[in-house]
Structure 1
Amino acid sequence: MFFILSKTIGIMLLPANFLIGAGVIGALLLVTRFASLGRKLMVVALVLLAICGFSPLGNFVLYPLESRFPPWDPARGAPDGIVVLGGAIDGDLSAAHGVAVFRGAADRVIAAAELARRYPNARIIYSGGSGNLISDDAREADYAAAVFESLGVSKARLTMERRSRNTQENAEFSKAIAAPKSGERWLLVTSAYHMPRSVGLFRKAGFAVEPYPVDWRVGGRADLWNFWIIAVDGLDCVDTGIREWIGLVAYRATGKIDELLPGPAPP
């Protein structure tokens, strides 16, 4: 049920979808006795879309998420394993073309491949099934293996987890595959904005991981007040950040994570 709600109500609440929907409702009201309300609704929706698209709002939404965890410190030595979260490969497009098609967050795979070369004894788990509400046979993990091999990572080191539909299942299924022993150190590779929610869910699953954030969208505090020239880029940042905050609130409210904004573990 949680998965279904996240793919319906959760998607409808994203600013771009919500505001466009409000604008459409306003347009429909123009031919009714509520025409005045319809005009106001359209104006408000248009103004808010412009704010989301051109203003620094997306930077302010993303920055607290991306800055929550520092870059990983390699000084502690080689990790025993690396978990890479899916989200970079479009399973449906990959199935249609017979080759891995990236839709974004390619840094996750590139960083993991670089780590694999740096630490040749580390195991690699790629966790990525299908996040579609109506599932089919297309799975990210089915195409990720070939990408890793093309980047010089031996197939023998790879484990492809293809059943997960969301981050909670990423954590649970990855733990089952890794079966981490006491004292083992596992890295978690995912986008910086996605790291707080991911770490919270991995902790809840009892899988201690060391965050390895990648795929930043905001450079730092100096970029917080940068305006966007192309509205769709600004809207994408706002939607991405709001999606994460909605996920954090929903997971905390349902007890799936123990903190609203998980951070670095205490020393």
Structure 2
Amino acid sequence: MFYFLSKVLFYVLMPLSITLLVLVWAMLTKNIKRKNKLLKIGVIMVVLFGNDFIVNEGFLLWEIPPTSPESITEIYDVGIILTGGMISNKEGTPQEIFVDKTADRFIQPLRLYKQGKIKKILITGGNTDLTVIRNDVSDENLKTAQLLEELGVKKSDLILETKARNTRENAIYTAEILQKNPQLGKKYLLFTSAFHQRRSIGCFEKAGLSVTPFSTAFKSKARTFTFNSLIIPSEAGYYEGYHLIHEVIGYCVYKVLGYC
């Protein structure tokens, strides 16, 4: 029940949903003062939520900063990859793999593996979405493993966890695997999107695993002070703002429930 409600809550509390509710309320109300006030609020929300500069500043504050591969001077036993958005759900043959927007989650551990800084790679995550809302890639875990193997990772160095549906379960089921197999070692690098690292680190620590974060798939960019980024709202700003607010809400909910 929590899984279902949390997913629905995230969609309801997003910038576009809230803005639409305000504007619809403005259209339906017969009180002229309230209508004018709601319309002003709606316009302000459009400008703020769609402001590229403001959204980017939010990501710069929230994301865990990058780690330079050169700064990693010790060998880690396992690199843990959290699935989600790495593989596109475009239909294809078993041999066709189309990477998606967070492919950096497996590209960075692949680089470190090739450099001899990671011994094994554990990929955690099953189907993470409600199919009534959005179709997820049910075999993202397997497809990612297939791709990594084709790119040079030994099959014996790949570990798959396929049950987890959310970050908390990623941590719990990964901890079960690692604790049952002490021969895998105790030094772990955690790979997920930079804006998702805070919640991920908290969940893994709650599950009893000490992990070192390695942020990937950054949404923040270098600051720009152009007219477009400072003044003109954009669809991209709205889209990225959705992810930022979604993650902040998710982190707060997990904190309240004691998951991280």
* TM-score band, normalised by shorter chain: 0.7 to 0.9
Residues 147-191 of structure 1: CA deviation (Å, up to 9, x unaligned): 212322222221222211111111111112222649621110111
**Amino acid of the residue matched to residue 153 of structure 1?**
V
Are the equivalent residues in 1 in contact too, given 2:65–2:215 (CA < 8 A)? no
* Partner residue in 1 for 2:72: 74
Q: Which amino acid aligns with 1:250?
A: V
Partner of 1:97: 92
The residue that corresponds to 1:54 in the other structure is 51
Unpaired runs of 5+ in structure 1?
A: 258-267
User: What TM-score does the superposition give when structure 1 sets the normalisation length?
Assistant: 0.81
- 1:193 partner letter: F
Q: Alpha carbons of 1:48 and 1:199: their partners in 2 closer, same or farther (altered >3 Å)?
A: same
Whole-Å Cα distance in 2 between the matches of residues 200 and 120 of structure 1?
24
Report whether the alignment pairs 1:205 with 2:200.
Answer: no
Letter in 1 for 2:92: H
In percent, how many aligned pairs have the same letter? 27
Structure 2 runs not aligned, ≥5 long:
none
SS of 1:82's partner is strand
2:154 paired residue number:
154
Aligned: 1:123 with 2:120:
yes
Match of 1:261 in 2: none
Of residues 56-65 and 40-49 in structure 1, the stretch that sits farther from structure 2 once superposed is: 40-49
Deviation of 1:224 after TM superposition, in Å, equals 7.5
Question: 2: CA distance between counterparts of 1:71 and 1:12?
Answer: 37
**What is the alpha-carbon distance in structure 1 between the residues aligned to residue 213 and residue 4 of structure 2?**
28
The alignment of Structure 1 onto Structure 2 pairs a total of residues equal to 249
Alignment of 1:120-199 (within 5 A): 122-134=119-131, 138-179=138-179, 181=182, 184-199=186-201
The whole-number CA distance in structure 1 between the counterparts of 2:147 and 2:21 is: 38
1:87 matched to 2:77? The reply is no
| Aligned equivalent of 1:263 | none
Paired residue secondary structure (1:80)? strand
**Counterpart of 1:260?**
none
- 2:48, 2:233 within 8 Å by CA — same for their partners in 1? no
Matched residue type, 2:84: G
Per the TM alignment, residue 225 of structure 1 is displaced from its structure 2 partner at its CA by 5.8
C-alpha displacement at 1:214, in angstroms?
1.5
Q: 2:253 aligns with which of 243, 250, 258?
A: 250
What TM-score do you get using the length of structure 2 for normalisation? 0.83
Question: C-alpha distance in 2, partners of 1:234/1:81?
Answer: 36
Judged with a 3 Å threshold, the aligned counterparts in structure 2 of structure 1 residues 20 and 184 are, in CA distance, closer, same or farther, namely same
CA distance in 2, matches of 1:232, 1:128: 30
